[in-house]
Structure 1
Amino acid sequence: MSDLADDYRRHGFAATLGPGRSPAVLVVDVCAAYLTDGSPLRAPVEDAVAAALTLVTRARERGRPVVFTRVSYRPGTADGGLFRRKVPALAAFEEGNPMGAFLPALAPAAGEVVITKQYASAFHGTSLAATLTAEGIDTLCVAGLTTSGCVRATATDALQHGFRPLVVADACGDRDPRLHEANLLDLDAKYADVVDLAAALAVLD
């Protein structure tokens, strides 16, 4: 991967955006479905969730906004359209299914924004961009699940909406480390700054 990253840089990719002046933490879809044995979405993401908790804790300590996203579909409806047809496992996020619940240790606190979505990007068809703009937020420290799916889509759309996406590598996870690493490489080349947890904590400070 390092050779490919070097090649990207030689050809004019992977410039650094850097943080702006008003960061927030965006926690993408961290829920029971990814941590419950027997779930079709189960993935080895325990370390990523622990890092996301560290990130959220620091943001709260520093008075930085924290925004959570969740996926939710009404049973028997066309919510999610072709996305649900493409990924039948998304049935885990139907209303009433405990797989869609936030984790007890990593759940929205009183007053924190929760964005409910039906597609991969937290910006698609939601009020997220307007909410961030109203709060004066210009930088998103992005954590969550999964790196190749909703994290990638959200970080890409963040850039396209004029926000600086800092994807926190340690605080994101996927079904396979190869997917995780490949998508981080490509995000860093084209759409986001990929940073480690220590760097993200420094931004929040």
Structure 2
Amino acid sequence: MAGSSAADNYAGVFAGRLQPGTHPALLIVDVVTAYLMEGSPLYMDTAAAARDSNARLAAAARAAGVPVIFTNVSYQPGGADGGVFYRKAPVLKVFDEGSPLGAFPETLQPQPGDRVFTKQYPSAFFGTGLAEALHAEGIDTLLITGYSTSGCVRASALDAMQYGFVPLVVRDACADRHEAPHEANLFDLQAKYAEVIFEAEALGVIARARA
């Protein structure tokens, strides 16, 4: 509808709501040094605040017995296992095996009991075995965070829905290179695929989880 806001245009068309289940997990997507270190080609000035939100969520999840799952990205030298994605986005060479930019930040490290899935493509699910592991643990809901909102977070949230998990994207714990794609993708995820929630709401989901 010409002249209407996006919210007005979507009203009454995409209005469904998902309720979280009782067995959530926290999925932290690619919160690594490449996005946090000034001078890195992937640096985002919004990444540090999202990292800190993730640290609070991870601490709460561990205390409640909620699984904490990290993803990172690693490629064979020259991107031999990166396929079309690596060719489309040559900046991904920052994740060639052994690069310090692929490391987890000091304040958000996997702890004993956490799981790490290494990927080569945007979705946390593609080629990683994550869906099977979550189903085996009885997980029904994913709190999804990380970098970047318009890229790997979006891809992971979409796949989470397609694999039957309720996706809860935590806006405070996500970041992007620019506010426009960040907000546009959160808007579209909320409309069609997920629930977009704040950190405080995510902490409530964690607190209500069943062990």
TM-score by length of 2: 0.93
Aligned partner of residue 43 in structure 2, secondary structure: coil
Deviation at 1:14, TM superposition (A): 3.6
Q: Residue 34 of structure 1 aligns with which residue?
A: 35
Contact 1:141–1:167 (CA<8 Å) still a contact in 2? yes
Which residue pairs with 1:101 in the alignment?
103
Post-superposition offset of 1:77: 4.9
Cα deviation 1:68-106 (Å, max 9, x = unaligned): 000010104521101000001100111110000001110
2:191 counterpart residue number: 189
8 Å CA contact 2:33–2:104 kept in 1: the answer is: yes
- 2:202 aligns to what? 200
Residue 9 of structure 1 and its aligned partner are, at CA, apart by 2.8
1:17-166 equivalence runs, <5 A: 17-44=18-45, 45-166=47-168
Contact 2:79/2:93 (8 A) holds in 1 = no
Residues 139 and 166 in structure 1, CA contact (< 8 A), matched pair in contact too: yes
Name structure 2 gaps, 5 residues minimum: none
Which amino acid letter does the alignment assign opposite residue 16 of structure 1? R
User: 1:4, CA displacement in angstroms?
Assistant: 1.4
- State the secondary structure of the residue aligned to 2:11: helix
Runs of 4+, deviation exceeding 6 Å:
none
Q: Would the aligned equivalents of 1:14 and 1:188 in 2 still touch at CA under 8 Å?
A: no
**1:40-73: CA deviation from partner (whole Å, max 9, x where unpaired):** 1001211111111111111011111000000010
CA distance in structure 1 between the aligned counterparts of 2:8 and 2:133, rounded to whole angstroms: 37
Paired position in structure 2 for 1:169: 171
1:173 alignment partner AA: A
| Contact 1:5–1:189 (8 Å) recurs in 2 | no
What residue identity is the alignment partner of 2:196? Answer: V
Q: Which deviates more, 41-50 or 115-124?
A: 41-50
Q: Partners in 1 of 2:82 and 2:157 — Cα distance?
A: 20
Q: Number of residues paired by the alignment?
A: 203
Farther off after superposition, 69-78 or 94-103? 69-78
- Identity across matched positions, percent: 56
Amino acid in the other structure paired with 1:195: I
State the Cα deviation string for residues 103-128 of structure 1 (Å, max 9, x = none).
11101111211011000000111110
